[in-house]
């Protein structure tokens, strides 16, 4: 399929929208009320630090809503303003944040249902309905289906995601296999791979090393295909489709790891075919999202400070939030990933998600005495949610101090 031609055709349709409807002023007021925080602004103005009692909060210098997320949420709100009586659907969560998605549900924005096989049931969408494509984008097949239905489409796809799509389309045009650094089940990677020709999704550097070793030395083809089951294009053959490769990424992955993977493939293909032939076998474009990079850089800076513990706030299914948690764990800082302030309490307890594991309840998670707490949040997390978390921490520590004072007296 000529995905580029399809996009051009879709973008020229009178039922397709990528911009607002002139309701920005009303929407901005609502978004500020629901998602902004005076406390967070106070901490920013105070050099990203705030002390209350025996708690010192150190906030990352870049965190929370990125421009692409703000744009997607604002467009979703504008869509409801523009179509107050129409039935509105979302193909996926608009972003990976429970409070934002709950607010949209309260505005009667519905989610496309998923059947027992995990497939979306688009039969619920009628011609007169409106469908919002989330910040992560939607697959070509989904967009094609919706276009054929003739319903109105509001596309909130982040331009950084679209940039990656353009890269894999260039790979396809030049007959390169796209090596996508990402999670093959993630909505963004599913969308990106739908724009590619031949592709292979690689989760991390370890998988990249396995593939590069196969390029250099060959190996067990069936083992390779089993190892990457569901993470490659139909008919993918590692003995044929790894001769010419192009690098792309899910925009929320760790910047440093994406760069390492790209350099590893470049070195491997240079070694295999020689420096003079490298351009015929390797293609790379910079598709690392600025906002993801800024938040990761700020996190690296934050964990260099003396911290007693770290709180990472964001959706449990948020890839960019998980990457921030990874940075903290690499420094062996006690780290707690929560999606909202409701995970804290009652009392001095926390329900948090361990890295690459399940939810766990921990009692007495905040120690006695003076503590320094690092705080950051994923790109889909509103300031208001971070503010609520900080206030909960202050409340717990104030109660502990009061209790200690009573016991001493």
Q: Note the pLDDT tens digit of each residue in 312-344.
A: 999 999 989 999 999 999 999 999 999 999 999
CATH tag, 160-288: 3.40.1010.20
Which pLDDT band holds residue 40 (cuts at 50, 70, 90)?
A: very high
Structural contact between residues 353 and 337, judged by C-beta atoms closer than 8 angstroms:
yes
CATH tag, 68-158: 3.40.50.11270
Q: Please report, for the chain, the start and end positions of each structural domain, with discontinuous segments joined by +.
A: 37-65+291-408, 68-158, 160-288
> How high is the mean pLDDT of the chain?
94
- Above 80 in pLDDT, residue 78? yes
pLDDT of residue 16: 97
Arithmetic mean of pLDDT, 88-94 = 95
Catalytic option among 188, 259, 294, 342? 188
pLDDT of residue 375: 98
pLDDT of residue 401: 72
pLDDT of residue 103: 94
What percent of the chain is predicted at pLDDT more than 70?
Answer: 98
360 flagged as catalytic: no
Fold of 37-65+291-408: Cobalt-precorrin-4 Transmethylase; domain 1 (3.40.1010)
Strand-pair partners of 109: 88
Q: How far apart are alpha carbons 164 and 247 in whole angstroms?
A: 10
pLDDT of residue 400: 74
pTM for this entry = 0.91
Higher pLDDT, 301 or 293: 301
Arithmetic mean of pLDDT, 212-237 = 97
Arithmetic mean of pLDDT, 349-372 = 94
- Above 80 in pLDDT, residue 254? yes
Structural contact between residues 154 and 269, judged by C-beta atoms closer than 8 angstroms:
no
User: In 144-172, which positions are buried (b, 16+ CB within 10 angstroms) versus exposed (e)?
Assistant: bbbbebebbbbbbbbebbbbbbebbbbbb
- Above 70 in pLDDT, residue 121? yes
Arithmetic mean of pLDDT, 222-232 = 97
Task: Write the burial class of residue 353 (CB in 10 Å: 0-12 exposed, 13-18 middle, 19+ buried).
Answer: buried
pLDDT of residue 407: 54
Which pLDDT band holds residue 222 (cuts at 50, 70, 90)?
A: very high
pLDDT of residue 18: 95
- Above 80 in pLDDT, residue 110? yes
Q: What is the pLDDT of residues 336-350, one digit of tens each?
A: 999 999 999 999 999
One fold for both 37-65+291-408 and 160-288?
yes
Which pLDDT band holds residue 290 (cuts at 50, 70, 90)?
A: confident
Which pLDDT band holds residue 405 (cuts at 50, 70, 90)?
A: low
- Above 80 in pLDDT, residue 403? no
Q: Tally Cβ neighbours within 10 Å of residue 5.
A: 9
Q: What is the pLDDT of residues 44-53, one digit of tens each?
A: 999 999 999 9
């Amino acid at each position: 399929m000529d995905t580029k031609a399809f996009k051009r055709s879709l973008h020229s349709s009178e039922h397709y929208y990528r911009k607002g409807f002139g309701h920005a002023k009303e929407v901005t007021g609502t978004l500020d009320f629901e998602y902004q925080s005076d406390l967070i602004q106070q901490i920013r103005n105070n050099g990203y630090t705030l002390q209350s009692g025996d708690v010192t909060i150190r906030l990352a210098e870049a965190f929370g809503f990125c421009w692409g997320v703000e744009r997607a949420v604002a467009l979703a709100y504008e869509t409801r303003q523009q179509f107050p009586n129409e039935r509105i659907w979302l193909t996926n969560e608009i972003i990976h944040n429970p409070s934002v998605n709950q607010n949209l549900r309260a505005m009667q924005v519905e989610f496309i249902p998923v059947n027992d096989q995990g497939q979306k049931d688009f039969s619920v969408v009628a011609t007169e309905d409106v469908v919002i494509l989330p910040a992560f984008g939607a697959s070509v097949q989904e967009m094609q289906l919706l276009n054929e239905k003739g319903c109105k489409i509001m596309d909130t796809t982040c331009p950084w995601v679209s940039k990656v799509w353009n890269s894999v389309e260039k790979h396809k045009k030049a007959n390169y296999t796209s090596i996508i650094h990402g999670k093959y089940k993630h909505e963004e990677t599913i969308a990106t791979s739908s724009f590619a020709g031949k592709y292979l999704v690689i989760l991390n550097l370890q998988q990249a090393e396995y593939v590069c070793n196969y390029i250099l030395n060959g190996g067990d083809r069936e083992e390779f295909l089993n190892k990457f089951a569901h993470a490659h294009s139909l008919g993918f053959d590692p003995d044929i489709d790894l001769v010419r490769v192009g690098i792309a990424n899910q925009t929320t992955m760790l910047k440093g790891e994406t760069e390492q993977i790209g350099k590893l493939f470049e070195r491997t293909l240079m070694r295999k075919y020689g420096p003079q032939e490298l351009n015929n076998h390797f293609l790379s474009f910079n598709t690392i999202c600025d906002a993801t990079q800024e938040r990761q850089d700020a996190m690296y800076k934050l964990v260099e400070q003396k911290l007693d513990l770290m709180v990472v706030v964001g959706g449990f299914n948020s890839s960019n939030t998980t990457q921030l948690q990874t940075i903290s764990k690499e420094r062996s800082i006690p780290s707690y990933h929560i999606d909202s302030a409701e995970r804290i309490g009652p009392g001095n307890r926390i329900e948090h998600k361990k890295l690459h594991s399940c939810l766990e309840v921990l009692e007495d998670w905040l120690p006695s005495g003076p503590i320094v707490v690092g705080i950051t949040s994923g790109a889909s997390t509103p300031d208001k949610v971070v503010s609520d978390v900080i206030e909960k921490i202050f409340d717990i520590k104030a109660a502990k101090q009061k209790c200690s004072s009573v016991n001493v007296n």
